[in-house]
Structure 1
Amino acid sequence: MNLREAAKRGKLDVVRAEVETMDSPPLEPLLLAACQDFHTVRKTRHHVELVGWLLEIGAQPNDEMIYQASRGGHHQIVAAIMRGYSPGAHAMAAAGDVIGMQRVLESDTSTGVAVDHEGKPPLHCCSASALGKDHQQTGRDLRQIARLLLAAGASIDLATTCGGLENVTPLVHTCWTGGDEEMLELLIEAGAEPTPMALWAAVGHFQRHGDGHYELAERLLQLGVDVNHHDGRTMLHSFAAHEDSKGVAWLLAHGASVHAVDAEGATPLHSAARRNTGVKVIELLLLAGAEADAEDDLGQRPIDLARGHRRQRVIEYLSRS
């Protein structure tokens, strides 16, 4: 395990042992790795301890670390970094610091539209923050900051890079990580456009398969987003390929078509047969009426793709269907 991976996983003993042998240890990259929102690595008290130790030995925090920790709703990490740190507008927005945000906007309203190294302004940071999910007051504070930023001229539909993902608007970020239904309504009322990308985010495509914000997804459908939107593939193709049984079940329950074909003529069942190791998604698709013998543009059936990719359980299941 390399040093960054150890920090990502909150391995304080491993990080400490190696850092103490180095003349110039990379403290800030390690602190960022410990703060980052990795859905595949659940934060524990060990991450909090590692963050505290890195700060004690001189790691210098920055606003990006607050943004990353807030996306995952990691209150203790955010609190540890904010202690003794003079946050910028992006960190204030992510952490729900209403008083701080009011102060900087009163001093210079252009702060409300200033962008960071990725090109995201503060509105993206408060939209992204999940700190309000289990803390009502923080949720209210984040929404108040959004109102302040919008009043200061923040763009409601600015699409930029956030956490490495391109074309993220404030609404997409709320659907992706923030998860706040009231923030979604606030953004919609301010003119945000409901988009297919927002629906993908809400159902959990970007990093969060199996852990979507399904209430927000329901609202997006009510606002007119098409569950069968096609850009070469449908959502059902993608969620089936990722073996996200929860997402597939939700999509099927909300009208996703098992008969839709992608750019290669493949159905969602083809996508699942090619990629899945288990059969839960296969079963869901068949129960919803998917055709086991449907052929793609190359004449391949789902079972043919399963055989070509050595998906033994899928082969056995489809052979009995």
Structure 2
Amino acid sequence: MHVSLVEPEAAASGTDRPQAKDIVLSYVALMKPRIIELLLLTTVPVMFLAAQGVPPLWLVVATIVGGTLSAGSANALNCVVDADIDTKMRRTARRPLPRHQVTTRRALIFGLVLGVVSTLWLGLLVNWLSAALALTANVFYVVGYTMILKRRTSQNIVWGGAAGCFPALIGWTAVTNELAWAPVVLFLVVFFWTPPHFWSLAMRYREDYSAASVPMLPSVTTSREVGRQIVIYSYVMVATSLALWPVAGTGWFYPAVATVLGIVFLVEAHDLSSRAKDTEDLSIIKPMRLFHFSNAYLALLFVAAAVDPFIG
């Protein structure tokens, strides 16, 4: 890991200076808004499940804002720590730090300030349990995953991905101010969902991870083995998703949707594994097919959990 606080030379020449809009967009990019969207999709539906109906609008807004700031903090700090490898990967080379749109020092300050503001925001406007969970997720993602696991083990995303599971707990505690088994089950759903989701993406960019010396599973083993592990995690994920039915006492709607989605996910996982058995050709394996469906799967599953109290 290499983190430098030396300010790089400006990319612009002469007297050219970036416009205010470009500066704002660069800082927004540091927060990785596409990832935040997915995290919010696992926060808000859980609030509806916890409330067994519609939670107060002000509470939803406060939780969304706090969660966005917290996730943005973790992502910005991740960009700082990973700046050296982001320059070597096609998928990340256009991020603000590799392109010198934001200096490392400013990105670090930005990430730390967001972390402080988000913790205070959630603590004062939601509750301190939710704030503590968000801060724990932030620290685990930056220190546990980015600084310790990512460059040391091929199972990095398995354990490091736990940071992305916390929104399920935060959404529940925002409404109830206490933990329960239902959000823990949803936490585990996201935990077991992460390897199939991310490994299918990493298969597409395995050469990037090799170039950056990051031991992501698809870059250190065969596609056949990656496919096998994706299938295993997919089965555990689907079984865990169905466990919410007895644990949370949902109606018929959630288990019905979870079953259909689970069957489709398993078919896609098996198809990928089958295509990867005898080839390393990505045009044949088509890993992005599972990746894109995995996003839809998680969103629809959590929406089903939110809708169930109104139907079941």
State the TM-score, normalizing by the size of structure 1: 0.31
State the TM-score, normalizing by the size of structure 2: 0.32
Larger relative contact order (C-alpha < 8 A, sep ≥ 6)? Answer: 2
Higher Rg: 1
